[in-house]
Every structure is written in C-alpha cells, then in structure tokens.
Structure 1
Amino acid sequence: MNIAFLCRWKLSDGLTVSTVAPHLEALAGMQNIRQIVFLTLEDTAGALGLKEYDSILKHDKVKWLPLRSSNYKRRLFNQIADYRNGYKALRKVLTDEKIDLLIAHGAPAGAVADKATKVAGTPFIVSLFEPHADYMLESGVWSKFGLKYNMQKQWEKQQLKNAAGLMPVTLGYKQKLLTQGVYPGKIVVIPCSVDYRRFQFDVQRRLELRKQLGWEKATIGIYAGKFGGLYYTKEAFQIYEQCFRLIPDFRLIILSPQPQEGIQQQLRNYKIDLSKVYVDSVPHELVPAYLSAADFTLATYKPGPSKKYLSPVKIGEYWANGLPVLLTEGIGDDSDIIKNEGGGALFNLTQTGSLEKAIQQIQTIVSDPNHRQRIPQLAANYRSPERIREAYEYFFNKLSSNGL
C-alpha cells in the first residue's frame, strides 16, 4: 500500500516534530505499507537540511515532498492560494505516486484532502481531527462572520461525510460527533501521543542546567509555547506574577519561538525581575533537558467550550517527565484526568481564589518526593504511541474489506 501523509505545517514546526513523527513511525513499521509520501507546506522549497529532521525522515519508506507556500503580502490571499494550489498539487501526487490512501493531519489539511480526492477517488482519513474553526473563533483569531471561519466550518462538515475515517483526540469530541450522526465505526480516538522514554526525567541534565542558571535550590516553573491564539497572553504574565508572589524562591523558564524582546517587555510590564526569568527558543529535541531542570509546568490555554476537545501534546511530554501541570480548567480529557488521578492542578481565572488554590496544590505535589516517578504513568496510560498503530490497523482492515 502506498500512502500520502499531508501536513499543513512546516517540517521544522514544533507541532510537526511532536505530533507527526509518531504517526510516521507507526506507519513505517507496518509491513503492508510500501511507501509514505510525506507532504509539508514550506515557505521556500528545498531550503531545509534533512539531517536536522532525522526523527521524521529517518525511515527508508518515507519520501518527503515539500509543497511551496504562496508569498502574497496579505495572509488571507496566501491562505486562499495555498488551498487552491494545495489540492491541485495533491491531485498530481495521488496520481504520480499511485497513492492508495491519503492521511490528512488536522482539519485544515483535511479540507485540502477532501477537495483533492473528489477527482482522484482516493479514500482519505483525517488524523488529529478537531473543531479547528471553533478553536480560532473562541480564541478571538477569527470572526464568526469572517470568510476563514465559515469556510473552515463548512470544510469540517464535508470531512464528516466524506472521510473514510476520523481520529479525534478526545473522548468528548467523539461523543459530539456521534450526536451529529457520524457513524461510530469511522471514529477512533487517538490523543496526541508521546514517546515517553524520550521525555523521561534526566537527573544529570537537571543538575547541569540548574547549575548553569544559578538556580540550584529554586523552585522552577516552565512555560513552553506561544502567546496569543489558543493561549493566554497578558493573563499568562499575571499568572507568572502570582507564582512569584506565592512560591518561595520561584524562578521561571520560558521557551518560546516568539521574539524575546516582546516577552521581556511583558515581564517588565508586570514588574517581574528579569534576572529570575530565563527566556529562549530551543529545538524540540532540547526541551526534555529543560523539563528535567524544572519542578512544574504551566499550560495556560484560553478557556472555551471547544477547548474540551483539545489534546495538547505538551501535556503528555510534561507527564512523561514527571512534571505536574498548572492547567486551565476545561482543557480536553486532561482536565478530567488531573481531577481524578492527579498530575497537576486546575485553575479558572473567573473564579476568585482558584489560581491561588491551584498553585498551592502544585506546591504540595512538588513536595512529594515520589511524584517524579508516579506522574509518568499518566503518559504511559493515556499518550502511548501504540494506540496510533492500533488505530491504523483498524482502518486498514476496514478499508481492505471494502476492496482497498
């Protein structure tokens, strides 16, 4: 079987590294797959050094084909052109590479897949299937009356009808899809998986980094990610301010691809001592070392009804390292896991005292000498890559019975 795997992020994007690699590894390990044509959307074709991304491209079965993104000055024009050029280029790939099955990673990629396969007739599956339009609406990025929101909303409805299989990342979203009339047999829940061995706690790296920072005895919190969009911006810095106020000898690590100057200015706005904060942007493969140096992590997502359908890959990485998570209430299945099994504390900024209580819970967990050995079991139980392989085997068997 020849498979095309479509991702609408860059090869170097942290989400590609963290969420796509486990799928490609699972697929490459299956005997009935001859070739995987892996497509990403790049600003410049062929400008990337492949050795840097061996974790994704290391398998002989994987053939990388970058699709060139448009370069219009207006973002909307770029997105329209990328959609049109994307499904046309994808149709050619499906024909030239004799593709038997297309896998689209995420609902935006699913929109391109749905359009391309209408002519080719190739069956397609959507992994990482989430209500992307609602995420963007609730986060204030898109308008309810805007073209982007309404087009993406319509494309998601089409995928519900036309996809051969859907892989939502939470049980909650599966239940919603069932209420919308989606056939149960075409849904398999796959949370964003993590190679928990790669993120396991490393005491040597912990000691080295803490010494390098001069924070050997501090309680260190870490935030890894962006500000804005799905994530809090000014509220995140207010939360940091509270951590400095409530946690003795607190220090903060911020790992973000966004400009350091803007982050440091926000810290100044909230009168946070810059000498007590380390800000950097590092490759994804270096993140486990910084997690090992920390004592807990912050996952400051904006709340909203659709956010219960998220499965943040970073939470699985944090758990794999043994870190408790200070998490916004109502995020995916993870909020219920934390509520019922531990692994962090939940806060709701609209409720007086909620954040303070959650920070106190984090301190209690950190004071337990066994928490670093206990929490990784959550990653093993809920974020195992083995579930990806099982899901694909299910869909392949289902499709083969229909003549694939």
Structure 2
Amino acid sequence: MHILCVGGFNYPGYFGDSSRIPILARYLRKKGVRVSFLLLTYPRKGKFQGKEIIDQIEIYRLFPYIYHEKLSSQLVRLLKPLDIMHNPFRMIRKLHQLIKIENFDLVLGFMPRFTGGVPASLCKKYKIPFLLDVSDFEYYTPFWRIFRRIDRLALFKADLITVINRFVKSYITELGVSSNRIKYIPNGINFQLFNPKVKGNEIRQKYDDRPIILHVGAFYSLNLVMDAMPLIVDENPDVLFLFVGPRNRDYYENLVSKTKYKDNFTFIESVPHERVPEYIAATDICILTFKKSKYTDYSQPFKILEYLACGKPIISTDLLGVRDIVKSSDLTEYLVRDPTSFAKKINQLLADKSLREQLGKIGYEIVKIKYDWEKITSKFMMLCEKLIK
C-alpha cells in the first residue's frame, strides 16, 4: 500500500494537530506501508523545497510564493489572501506530476482547507480513493468564513472522512454529509514513551522539590492562572507554575515579572519530545488553560492524553473535547470554568497526595484502553484497505 498525505503543515509536525498525520504516518511505515507527503508550508531552518527522505518517508515540499526572508511579517499577512488563492493550483499541478510518476493507492488530505482538500477532484479523475482527515475547524476570522463554502466541497467529494471526536462528526453531518462516510480515528499515545514508570527526579531536584504545576506547549492566555494566583499562593506560597515550550515566552516572562508572583513562574524553551515525559513525571498536577471557543471546544489536545498516560491528575478548562476523553469518571470534576474553581481544585490536589495518585490511575486506565497509537493505526489501515478494494 502506498499512501500520499497532502496538507499545509511541516513534517514531522511541531505542535498540536499538525503532528497528528506525521505520527500516524510513522506508525503506518512501521507496519510496512509506504508513505509520502506533499506539503505546502512556510520554511523552517534546515528545510528546503523539493524531495527529502525522513523516517523512511518521502517528503515533497512547496513554499508559498509570498515567502521571502526580507519581507516584513506585516506585508506577508497582507499578501497571504492572494497566496492562498494561488496555492491550490500549485498543489494540483505538483500532485498531477506525482500521480504520473508514483502509483498511489490512496490520497490522505489533512483538513478541508485549500491544501488538504484540493486533491479531491484530481483523485476522482484518476480514480484514486481520497480520504479526508478532520481534527478541528479553524473558522474564527471573517476571512476564513469567506472560504468555508469552498472548503466544504472537499467534505462532499471525499470517499471517507476521519474525525478525532463526535463533536467534529456532528458538525460535519450538520453540513449535510452522511454519517456513514465519517469514521472515528482519535489522537493517540506512544505508551513506550509516555507511561507512569517514567521518572522525573532530576527535574524535580532542579526546582528544589517545590510543588509543581505543569503546562506543556502552546497556550493562548495566562488570565485564568493569574486571576487564581491570590487564592493559590495564600495556601501554597512555594507553588511553581512551570510552562514548557510556550509561544511568546518573552512576553509572558515580562508579564509576570511585573507582579508579586514572579517567583512562582518559570517559562522554558521547548524540549525534545522524548524529554517531555520526564517533565510530566516531575510534576504534581498538569493543566490545560485554553480559552473556550468553538475551535478549542472541538479539539482533542495531545497534551491531555500525554498527561493522563503518565498517570498525572489534570485540571483543564472545561472543553467539550476534553470532557469527551474523561467522561463518566471522577476527572470531570476537575474541568473548570473560572479562576475560583481553578484555584480550589489546585489547592485540593496539592493538599492530598493520595487523591492525586488515585486520579492519576483513573486517567491512565482511560487512555490505555482507547488511545493507543498501535491500535488506532491498525484500525486506520483497515479503513484504507476497504477504500482501496
């Protein structure tokens, strides 16, 4: 089987759902599936246009025309709508060339945007099955609302659609797509890397064995934490909020430096993915503090799955996607909507180690059953094989 993955993200994926298809591709490769990528993405250091082989996977890259290192970010944003209109034609042209050279059994598009959805029509022409993977909907600006109607075409032309949860499926069926063409493929966990046996003693010693509250990866607001700080510090003056790999690190460091809680925060650069479990293991509580919106509500954050896989208790913004993961368990009590309840849950867990361990065990059992990448990949392969037949 030879699968071509098409989308607008970097390989191997640097954060969030942009890493979903690259991770799945590596598991497919281990099972003997040949996988290639055609990606339209902005350049990163050490990456180039053309063909490259990584992890035994063929990567074909296209860069947007407007990219140039001498252009200001403001000018790039101004020209981006024009580039978005032109990029689909570049993708189609390159895909047309690859189809003539390679014998693809299936094309996998990531997200019903221009980059992920444009292969649908070409696949129909060449009678190649087209599978569309949808992890969320990023329609939160007037600009994207304009193009949403165009993106919908990919949903109706796809032979099969895979989604991360029932909320994304519900949204797609509301658009008129038959539920029979939509299958559930969640995000997963590498349990060889993320598990309760991982030790974080070295990292904990680095921070003087203080109570540690951890957030890994991107976040979009510190308001929930900052508003809760008076109540938290009143009971736990030595608490440390450790943020690993946040965007705009300098901004947040400057923000907290102007408050009396500056000694309760540490922001560090991103660490290699294989070291993330050590940081999770070193902490007492793991948190997710997204702003609630339709976009975040439908998400299935990798960080939540990774926290739970390491046997750590979580406190999260009450998002539909997170609630769906922990439904019918005691963990739902730790989905919060305001600073007061956030502070209350932090203080409760810091005061009770046995409760933290109990909730950690519950979380691990949840993800062990439903979110193992090995099992998810096997299910995905079965869907692909049925499409090809």
Q: Specify the TM-score bucket, using the shorter chain as the normaliser.
A: 0.7 to 0.9
The offset of 1:316, in angstroms, is 0.7
The offset of 1:79, in angstroms, is 3.7
The offset of 1:18, in angstroms, is 4.3
1:198-277 → structure 2 map (5 Å cutoff)? 198-202=193-197, 204=199, 206-214=200-208, 216=209, 218-228=210-220, 232-239=221-228, 243-274=232-263, 276-277=265-266
RMSD, aligned α-carbons: 3.1
2: CA distance, partners of 1:129 / 1:337:
15
For 1:9, give the aligned amino acid. Answer: F
SS in 2 for 1:277: strand
Q: Residues 7 and 292 (structure 1 numbering): CA distance in 2 closer, same or farther, change over 3 Å? A: farther
Contact 2:219 2:289 in 1 (8 A): no
- Corresponding position of 1:196: 191
- Corresponding position of 1:52: none
For 1:279, give the aligned amino acid. Answer: I
The offset of 1:364, in angstroms, is 6.3
1:124 aligns with 2:130: yes
Q: Residues 93 and 380 (structure 1 numbering): CA distance in 2 closer, same or farther, change over 3 Å? A: same
2: CA distance, partners of 1:278 / 1:87:
42
1:74 aligns with 2:76: yes
1: CA distance, partners of 2:234 / 2:87:
47
TM-score between both structures, scaled by the size of structure 1:
0.80
1: CA distance, partners of 2:130 / 2:123:
8
Identity of aligned residues (%): 20
- Corresponding position of 1:2: 2
Q: Residues 391 and 339 (structure 1 numbering): CA distance in 2 closer, same or farther, change over 3 Å? A: closer
Contact 1:324 1:375 in 2 (8 A): yes
Contact 1:224 1:254 in 2 (8 A): yes
1:102 aligns with 2:79: no
User: Which stretch shifts more, 169-178 or 310-319?
Assistant: 169-178
For 2:108, give the aligned amino acid. Answer: I
The offset of 1:236, in angstroms, is 4.7
- Corresponding position of 2:39: 40
The offset of 1:121, in angstroms, is 4.5
- Corresponding position of 1:313: 302
Q: Residues 340 and 150 (structure 1 numbering): CA distance in 2 closer, same or farther, change over 3 Å? A: same
For 2:61, give the aligned amino acid. Answer: P
Question: Of residues 66, 90, 95 in structure 1, which corresponds to 2:95?
Answer: 90
TM-score between both structures, scaled by the size of structure 2:
0.83
Contact 1:107 1:129 in 2 (8 A): no
Contact 2:281 2:310 in 1 (8 A): yes
- Corresponding position of 2:72: none
Contact 1:95 1:120 in 2 (8 A): no
The offset of 1:198, in angstroms, is 0.7
For 1:74, give the aligned amino acid. Answer: V
Q: Residues 270 and 366 (structure 1 numbering): CA distance in 2 closer, same or farther, change over 3 Å? A: farther
SS in 1 for 2:328: helix
SS in 2 for 1:74: helix
The offset of 1:27, in angstroms, is 2.1
Question: Of residues 146, 150, 165 in structure 2, which corresponds to 1:150?
Answer: 146
Q: Residues 189 and 110 (structure 1 numbering): CA distance in 2 closer, same or farther, change over 3 Å? A: same
For 1:14, give the aligned amino acid. Answer: F
Question: Of residues 248, 257, 276 in structure 2, which corresponds to 1:287?
Answer: 276
Gaps of 5+ in 2: 69-74
SS in 2 for 1:86: helix
Q: Residues 16 and 307 (structure 1 numbering): CA distance in 2 closer, same or farther, change over 3 Å? A: closer
Q: Residues 103 and 87 (structure 1 numbering): CA distance in 2 closer, same or farther, change over 3 Å? A: same
2: CA distance, partners of 1:397 / 1:99:
13
The offset of 1:348, in angstroms, is 0.9
1:300-329 CA-partner distances (Å, limit 9, x unpaired): 112134544211111111111112221111
- Count residues in correspondence: 372
For 1:149, give the aligned amino acid. Answer: R
Contact 1:91 1:120 in 2 (8 A): no
Contact 1:6 1:102 in 2 (8 A): yes
1:331 aligns with 2:320: yes
2: CA distance, partners of 1:364 / 1:170:
34
For 1:58, give the aligned amino acid. Answer: D
Q: Residues 121 and 279 (structure 1 numbering): CA distance in 2 closer, same or farther, change over 3 Å? A: same
1:103-135 CA-partner distances (Å, limit 9, x unpaired): 1223334323335546544321122442232xx
Q: Residues 270 and 104 (structure 1 numbering): CA distance in 2 closer, same or farther, change over 3 Å? A: farther
1:276-308 CA-partner distances (Å, limit 9, x unpaired): 424322222221111111111111112134544
1: CA distance, partners of 2:250 / 2:186:
34
1:354 aligns with 2:341: yes
- Corresponding position of 2:71: none
Gaps of 5+ in 1: 50-55
Contact 2:6 2:107 in 1 (8 A): yes
The offset of 1:38, in angstroms, is 2.1
Q: Residues 288 and 171 (structure 1 numbering): CA distance in 2 closer, same or farther, change over 3 Å? A: same
